[in-house]
């Protein structure tokens, strides 16, 4: 249940597009914490909250996979906050014995140390064989040789009682690539992030359960010029801890067309798109389904300067200058997430944004 005084806000930072904030290993978490404090209820996705061995649990942050965010913004599902989830773990048959043992150790560590409810564990019938690509725009993406083993293992986990799924897949090692070197130095894009999104999207679409992905890779050699934003990925042998913590309190995904059949579902028990007060997204990444769904519904858009490889901005969407004079949509452009948090707080408190600007304009009689 969310406090009645909260102002549910959606924070989006797409995966694999090299954003200065949110393009690395959990480097957007401080900004998510700030927006959660200013809104009282922040909805965001794993790309924002995942920091490999590092994580942050905040009851005011709802951890929602990207495809689910799109469905939420389009009004197809509602979110039901929960105390905890039973996390099933899906392991790629291509992990190999050492990486498999490393991830099983993480599961036991999170059960013993953090008290998480984890199990069952299923392995795919055959290796998933993931390939990585860079699109013409510069964004990363990828594909599976076949999704069938992934979906079958997910079905088994759901049948065995899992209410959320963490998936670990073997990614190709490319330790000498220019893209990886640039990423570790704080340039370019995360070459595996786009493929991760494909995997989690497939599972959510098929199972309608909270899901998140952790890549399995060989340990990287020490880098003397490592950017602090990429340092979270150097701390351990796996990326799984943050995923397990995030999924442990991820909200249930409830299809809107099933609401009438759930007798125990009352208004305070869920969050719908109608409750959303604002959406916060990079100013150059406004073409995604979630942002467009919010724009269509007239939800205030806070566009933050957060450079990446995409250039789908307000001009591209026809939301500049004269077009806004006849629009019901409120759009605010800000230079950073500190300003965005101030705007969210002002909207939450019902303070007219125009009253916070100087010089303040005189009232014009019509």
Percent share of the chain, pLDDT over 70: 94
Angle ∠(71,74,80) on CA atoms, nearest 5: 55
Q: Of all helices (H) and strands (E), which one includes residue 98?
A: helix 97-114
Please give the mean pLDDT across all residues of the chain.
Answer: 89
- At residue 103 the predicted structure's pLDDT band, cuts being 50, 70 and 90, is very high
Please compute the mean of the pLDDT values over residues 157-166 and round it to a whole number: 98
What is the model's pTM? Answer: 0.92
The dihedral through the CA atoms of 23, 27, 29, 30 has a sign that is negative
The answer to whether residue 229 scores a pLDDT higher than 90 is: no
CA distances from 38 to 49, 266, 278, 307 (A): 17, 26, 12, 23
Closest CA to 253 of 83, 119, 86, 76: 76
Question: Given this model, what pLDDT does residue 82 score?
Answer: 95
Question: Given this model, what pLDDT does residue 98 score?
Answer: 93
For residue 216, is it left (φ>0), alpha (ψ between -120 and 50) or beta?
A: beta
DSSP 191: T
Closest CA to 280 of 325, 237, 229, 341: 341
11-36 confidence digits (pLDDT tens): 999 988 889 999 988 999 999 999 99
In order of their start, the domains of the chain are 1-80+252-365 (3.40.50), 82-250 (3.40.50)
């Amino acid at each position: 249940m969310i406090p009645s005084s909260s102002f549910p806000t959606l924070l989006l930072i797409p995966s694999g597009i090299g954003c200065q904030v949110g393009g690395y290993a959990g480097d957007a978490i401080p900004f998510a914490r700030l927006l959660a404090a200013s809104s009282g209820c922040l909805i965001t996705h794993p790309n924002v909250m995942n920091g490999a061995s590092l994580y942050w649990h905040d009851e005011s942050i709802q951890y929602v996979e990207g495809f689910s965010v799109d469905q939420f913004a389009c009004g197809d599902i509602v979110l039901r906050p929960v105390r905890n989830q039973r996390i099933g773990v899906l392991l790629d048959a291509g992990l190999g014995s050492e990486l498999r043992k490393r991830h099983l150790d993480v599961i036991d560590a999170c059960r013993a140390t953090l008290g998480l409810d984890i199990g069952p564990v299923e392995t795919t019938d055959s290796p998933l064989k993931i390939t990585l690509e860079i699109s013409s725009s510069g964004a990363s993406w990828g594909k599976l040789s076949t999704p069938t083993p992934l979906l079958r293992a997910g079905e088994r986990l759901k049948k065995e009682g899992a209410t959320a799924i963490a998936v670990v897949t073997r990614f190709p090692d490319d330790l000498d690539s220019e893209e990886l070197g640039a990423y570790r130095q704080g340039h370019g894009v995360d070459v595996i992030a786009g493929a991760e999104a494909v995997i989690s999207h497939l599972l959510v679409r098929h199972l309608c359960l909270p899901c998140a992905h952790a890549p399995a890779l060989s340990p990287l050699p020490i880098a003397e010029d490592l950017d602090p934003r990429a340092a979270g990925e150097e701390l351990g042998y796996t990326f799984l801890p943050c995923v397990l913590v995030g999924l442990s309190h991820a909200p249930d995904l409830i299809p809107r067309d099933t609401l009438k059949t759930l007798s125990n579902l009352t208004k305070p028990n869920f969050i719908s798109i109608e409750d959303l007060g604002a959406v916060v997204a990079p100013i150059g990444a406004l073409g995604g389904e979630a942002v467009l769904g919010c724009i269509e519904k007239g939800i205030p858009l806070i566009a933050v300067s957060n450079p990446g490889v995409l250039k789908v901005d307000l001009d591209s969407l026809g939301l500049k200058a004269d077009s806004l004079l006849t629009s019901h949509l409120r759009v605010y452009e800000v230079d950073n997430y500190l300003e965005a948090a101030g705007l969210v707080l002002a909207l939450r408190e019902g303070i007219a944004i125009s009253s916070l600007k100087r010089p303040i304009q005189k009232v014009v009689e019509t």
